[in-house]
Structure 1
Amino acid sequence: MTKRVILAATLALAAGTAQAADMDMPGQLSWSAYDMGSTGYNQAVAIGSAMKSAYGTNLRLLPGKNDIARSEPLRQGKVDFTAAGIGGVYMAQEGVFEFGAERWGPQKVRVLLQNAGAKFGFALAVTKETCEKAGKPGCEGFTYSDLRGLKVGHIKGSPAINVAIEALLAYGGLTWDDVEAVDFGGYGDSWRGLADGNIDATYSSTTAGTAYEVEAGPRGLYWPPIDASDAAGIQRMQDVAPYFAPMTATDGAGLSADNGVGAASYPYPVLIAMEEQDADLVYKQTRAMVETFDAYKDAAPAADGWDIKAQNLEWLVPFHDGAIRYFKEAGIWTDAAQAHNDRMIARQDALAAAWEELQAEKPADWEAAWAEKRHAALAAGGFKPVF
């Protein structure tokens, strides 16, 4: 974002804050979010507290153990918004993995805001006991390749987490076939498995509340590093998860500005709505989060990543018209952002049309037919299929 755009945004936000009391916010809003104790849930609690103080709005949180559990109430209109990970945003849009099932299909989700500027990352958390099993006591020199033959958490109904794990294993030159996958019903369950010594590694953001708990426990916590200079490893990782980028995490369990670790990163959480959500409500929710930012940015780990100045307005999922309305008022929405947004909406339209065609065809092997139809539709529109 240019200095001119940042200045315009700062001036607009200052004016907007003075008018906050004049915004007619609903008495209650509802979000679905990750399990209690997760980074996303803790941030949602902090945001809800800030909105309660500023507007008297109660934020009702519906925790879900996996992407499907969080996406279902959004699709059914039982919640207004979802604080989602990449699964509930990108994979839902793409109609892949669990979202490729016949009862789901590509979803026309829209972004309000991203937590895109935080200093936390994503990694596979291990314990000192894990390192000992790999023959590296004290975790000296332990890396992803050392997970070979060990037990790794696999979350049912969470393609985002499982693909992320696959990508991190790929960085270490491994696949799911090289480890022992242990199924869990939810993200929090896998952390309890790690804490109890039932598994050797599980996926997490470095700031998850459960990570701090394990760090303080008898088994301790270690984050295997990702070396950004390892071009081959990074390529293997991005071949599986193209949205992953290497970074240095300095926020999280056992981490600090002076003690960071190489990790993977993408915006998390991302606040989303369905395409048909009322634009005025989306505008108010977006504006409220920006105007109360100072009240919640330090109230939960990594909550400062919701800063409007950190938004990637040319991302891989389109923004909602209500959010765009606010961005225009803030002076940060550009012609390039609009053109990109239109292109991403066209991608969603191409996927939706392909899905409707397939439903009319009623193929015997839905999974195979959808994979072929999806690739053909995206290629015809000049879009990269990715999955």
Structure 2
Amino acid sequence: MIGISLRSRTAVAAGILCVFAGTGQASAQDIELPGQLAWTAYDVGSGGYNQAVAIGGALKNELGIDLRVLPGRNDVSRQVPLRQGRVQFSATGVGASYLAQEGVFEFGGADWGPQAVRLLLAANGDGNLGIGVAADAGIETIADLAGKRVAYVVGAPSLNENITAILAFANLTWDDVERVEFSGFGAAWEAIINDQADAAFAASTSGQAYQLEASPRGLFWPPLPHDDTEGWQRLQERAPFFIPNDGTEGAAMGADNVNEAATYPYPVLTTYAEQDTSLVYNMTKAMVELYPTYQDSAPGINGWALDNQVFAWAVPYHEGAVEYFREAGVWTEEHDAHNDALIERQGVLAAAWEEMQGEEVAEADFEARWMEVRAQKLEEAGLSVVFE
């Protein structure tokens, strides 16, 4: 279980002063990036896509750099170009970061396995991530989802496992709801508007959430009361990256309409461990030092601010990003220890995967066998086993 709060600031305010005291302001000549960059991101209209486009505008206006944003309908479609080297970074979610690191669900197949994912930055905003429902569907609590039509996005384990975890909050499973399959995130939310589904997972700042709020059906976010200890234990056993949060930004919520529920960093900017350290350093620097030029340009984008960063999350940071944070005065020895432990976990998973390659396993049995080996090696290393 991850016992952190996205609102804790890790003494970053002093670091911000350090960053800008040395430079006066963000200066283009101090940021060395290629003239063209490419990221993958969520579907067009999603909060992650909109933020990536806004950041691309800042890169163009301030540095003359063209950022090409490739929308992906699911975790795998966002991760493939990154693994193939066709993009340098991915503004993705927990699926192509945490689940990819763990080598589970779509990343547990023979052609994937645990991925050496690394973070640059994460957007920790004032919105929530959760199950949004049509306001006219009679759903006031998570328990009320029983028997309702819940969207399942094929090839998107992060979205689907998040719903699994939130259903567990109320002691529900997918067997208790009507599972309706869709090919992508956008299609799932359009289906709610068109009365083909009643609920789907999203960030409260996503374009689709605003569209549903403005539709005749309306939007409501069932709460996850923070004092429900047993409910939160069930949720975090399935998804340890979730933490309690009072959402005030996004569709159908605000300062006067607080959503007592959950969140985790979204999007997160990722790459692979082998990515060039200098490139990662400069991309991180650009994201931080150009922040004043793109803040407030898209819903949820203020989560990228340096003082919103949480350096003790569930996926390790790239050494190039760590180098920048150290220079900024916001990276501590405690962060080093946490990061090293996460990298060690990835090493255990990679070794387990390597051992699997020496076994002769039928294709139909491969994923089940991998999960057995994975659990065994994590237990032997004294590490937590999530997704057994």
TM-score of the superposed pair, with normalisation by structure 1: 0.94
C-alpha separation in 1, matches of 2:198 and 2:236: 24
Deviation at 1:71, TM superposition (A): 0.6
Partner of 1:315: 313
Partner of 1:6: 13
Over 3 Å counting, the alpha-carbon distance change for 1:8 and 1:145 in structure 2 is closer
Q: In 1, are the aligned partners of 2:245 and 2:261 still within 8 Å (CA)?
A: yes
Q: In 2, are the aligned partners of 1:67 and 1:158 still within 8 Å (CA)?
A: yes
Partner of 1:370: 370
C-alpha separation in 2, matches of 1:11 and 1:110: 25
C-alpha separation in 1, matches of 2:278 and 2:195: 49
Structure 1 moving runs of 4+ over 6 Å: none
TM-score of the superposed pair, with normalisation by structure 2: 0.94
Partner amino acid for 2:178?
E
| Aligned pair partner of 1:100 in 102, 108, 123 | 108
C-alpha separation in 2, matches of 1:224 and 1:169: 11
Over 3 Å counting, the alpha-carbon distance change for 1:17 and 1:371 in structure 2 is farther
Partner amino acid for 2:82?
L
For 2:202, what is the secondary structure of its paired residue? strand
C-alpha separation in 2, matches of 1:14 and 1:163: 44
Partner of 1:69: 77
Deviation at 1:17, TM superposition (A): 5.5
Q: In 1, are the aligned partners of 2:99 and 2:107 still within 8 Å (CA)?
A: yes
Partner of 2:165: 167
C-alpha separation in 2, matches of 1:376 and 1:325: 34
For 2:222, what is the secondary structure of its paired residue? coil
Partner of 2:5: none
Tell me whether 230-239 or 183-192 shows the greater mean CA deviation: 230-239
| Aligned pair partner of 2:66 in 58, 62, 65 | 58
Partner of 1:292: 290
Partner of 1:231: 229
Over 3 Å counting, the alpha-carbon distance change for 1:160 and 1:17 in structure 2 is farther
Is 1:201 the counterpart of 2:209? The answer is no
Over 3 Å counting, the alpha-carbon distance change for 1:21 and 1:162 in structure 2 is same
Over 3 Å counting, the alpha-carbon distance change for 1:3 and 1:40 in structure 2 is closer
Deviation at 1:315, TM superposition (A): 2.0
Deviation at 1:172, TM superposition (A): 2.2
For 2:166, what is the secondary structure of its paired residue? helix
Deviation at 1:214, TM superposition (A): 1.2
Q: In 1, are the aligned partners of 2:9 and 2:310 still within 8 Å (CA)?
A: no
| Aligned pair partner of 1:130 in 129, 132, 137 | 137
For 1:123, what is the secondary structure of its paired residue? strand
Over 3 Å counting, the alpha-carbon distance change for 1:292 and 1:19 in structure 2 is closer
* Structure 2: gaps (5+ residues): 1-7
Q: In 2, are the aligned partners of 1:84 and 1:272 still within 8 Å (CA)?
A: yes
Partner of 1:45: 53
Is 1:191 the counterpart of 2:189? The answer is yes
C-alpha separation in 2, matches of 1:90 and 1:170: 19
C-alpha separation in 2, matches of 1:19 and 1:120: 27
C-alpha separation in 2, matches of 1:286 and 1:227: 35
Partner amino acid for 2:159?
I
* Structure 1: gaps (5+ residues): 132-138
For 1:246, what is the secondary structure of its paired residue? strand
Tell me whether 371-380 or 40-49 shows the greater mean CA deviation: 371-380
Q: In 1, are the aligned partners of 2:18 and 2:329 still within 8 Å (CA)?
A: no
Partner amino acid for 1:262?
E
| Aligned pair partner of 2:33 in 25, 28, 38 | 25
Over 3 Å counting, the alpha-carbon distance change for 1:89 and 1:17 in structure 2 is farther
CA RMSD between the two structures: 1.5
Over 3 Å counting, the alpha-carbon distance change for 1:3 and 1:320 in structure 2 is closer
Over 3 Å counting, the alpha-carbon distance change for 1:287 and 1:106 in structure 2 is same
Deviation at 1:128, TM superposition (A): 2.8
C-alpha separation in 1, matches of 2:231 and 2:81: 38
Deviation at 1:21, TM superposition (A): 2.1
Partner of 2:176: 178
User: What is the CA deviation profile of residues 284-325 of structure 1, one whole-angstrom value per residue up to 9, with x for unaligned ones?
Assistant: 110000011111120011111111122221222111111011
Deviation at 1:362, TM superposition (A): 2.4
Partner of 2:381: 381
Q: In 2, are the aligned partners of 1:16 and 1:291 still within 8 Å (CA)?
A: no
| Aligned pair partner of 1:87 in 89, 95, 98 | 95
Partner of 1:214: 212
Q: In 2, are the aligned partners of 1:17 and 1:291 still within 8 Å (CA)?
A: no
How many residue pairs were aligned?
Answer: 377
Deviation at 1:15, TM superposition (A): 2.6
Deviation at 1:14, TM superposition (A): 4.2
Partner of 1:280: 278
Deviation at 1:53, TM superposition (A): 1.1
User: What is the CA deviation profile of residues 367-386 of structure 1, one whole-angstrom value per residue up to 9, with x for unaligned ones?
Assistant: 22111111111122221111
C-alpha separation in 1, matches of 2:15 and 2:309: 15
Is 1:328 the counterpart of 2:335? The answer is no
Partner of 2:353: 355
